[in-house]
């Protein structure tokens, strides 16, 4: 009985929040771009933690999309490896230090969308 109840609740947890609902970002992604750049500069090994969060957040964006939206987007395209993705996020953060690290990842996702539409054209 408890399992059925839990399975019934699961789909409701996957409904994306509307634009009016604030989303609470937690974890390392809640830091500012300024903090990310500082951490990456002073302790380069922390970039692995940021990169892991980046990959999880990107995956969550794709999973949270309705059927037929953003399907087939490659999150690690051959010509845009993880090192280039991290550079993209770092460059974004350097240009908008008050943004959140999550904002930088969302900008990266928009870049994936752009690249995906160019590839399909």
16-59, pLDDT tens digit by residue?
Answer: 444 445 668 888 888 999 999 999 999 999 999 999 999 999 99
Contacts of 116 (CB under 8 A, 6+ apart): 72, 73, 74
Question: What confidence score (pLDDT) does residue 17 get?
Answer: 43
Contacts of 37 (CB under 8 A, 6+ apart): 90, 93, 94, 97
**Both tokens of residue 51?**
């990169």
> Which residue did the predictor score with more confidence, 118 or 93?
93
Question: Is 14 contained in some domain?
Answer: no
Mean predicted confidence (pLDDT) in 3-16: 38
Compute the residue count for the chain.
121
**Confidence band of 14 (pLDDT split at 50, 70, 90):** very low
Question: Is 10 contained in some domain?
Answer: no
The yes-or-no verdict on residue 91 having pLDDT over 70 is: yes
Residues spanned by the domain of 112: 30-120
Question: Is 9 contained in some domain?
Answer: no
Question: Is 100 contained in some domain?
Answer: yes
Asked whether 74 and 116 are in contact (CB, 8 A), the reply is: yes
Question: What confidence score (pLDDT) does residue 11 get?
Answer: 37
């Amino acid at each position: 009985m408890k399992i059925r109840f839990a399975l019934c609740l699961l789909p409701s947890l996957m409904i994306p929040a509307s634009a009016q609902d604030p989303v609470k970002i937690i974890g390392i992604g809640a830091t500012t771009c300024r903090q990310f750049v500082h951490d990456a500069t002073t302790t380069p090994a922390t970039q692995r933690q940021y990169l892991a969060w980046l990959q999880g957040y990107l995956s969550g964006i794709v999973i949270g999309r309705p059927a037929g939206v953003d399907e087939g987007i490659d999150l690690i395209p051959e010509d845009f490896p993880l090192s280039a993705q991290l550079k993209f996020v770092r460059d974004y953060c350097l240009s908008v230090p008050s943004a959140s690290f999550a904002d930088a990842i969302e900008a990266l996702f928009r870049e994936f969308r752009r690249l995906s539409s160019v590839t399909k054209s």
